Amino acid sequence: MKRPICRHGETRPGAVTVPLKRGGMTIVFREVPALVCENCGEAFQDAAVTAALLEQAEQAALAGVEIDVGRFAVAA
């Protein structure tokens, strides 16, 4: 897929680190599956991965997490 931003690179499957911040909470998910531009490095997650990231972040917020770093887990 051609990148809409840089218009030069093709995307390839890979894994990225995704930081999420909300209020005073910061969560960093490592090894998140994504399509990564080989030229500029911009990453895109599909809808299912995005939904899982947001759900895991919401659960962490409800648990009172202020800062967390962890490996992304695909919901079963």
User: 76 in a domain, yes or no?
Assistant: no
Return d(Cα 53, Cα 8) in angstroms, integer: 28
The pLDDT value given to residue 27:
95
Q: What integer is the mean pLDDT of 2-25?
A: 86
CATH code of the domain covering residue 39: 3.10.20
The pLDDT value given to residue 3:
61
Based on the structure, what is the number of domains in the chain? 1
**Residues 16-48 pLDDT 10s:** 999 999 889 999 999 999 999 988 889 999 999
Q: Name the 3-class secondary structure at 46.
A: coil
Let me know: does 32 contact 16? Beta carbons within 8 Å: yes
- Look at residues 2, 51, 12, 58 and name the one whose alpha carbon lies nearest to residue 34: 12
User: 6 in a domain, yes or no?
Assistant: no
Instruction: Tell me the whole-structure pTM to 2 decimals.
Output: 0.83
User: 59 in a domain, yes or no?
Assistant: yes
- Look at residues 24, 10, 11, 22 and name the one whose alpha carbon lies nearest to residue 56: 22
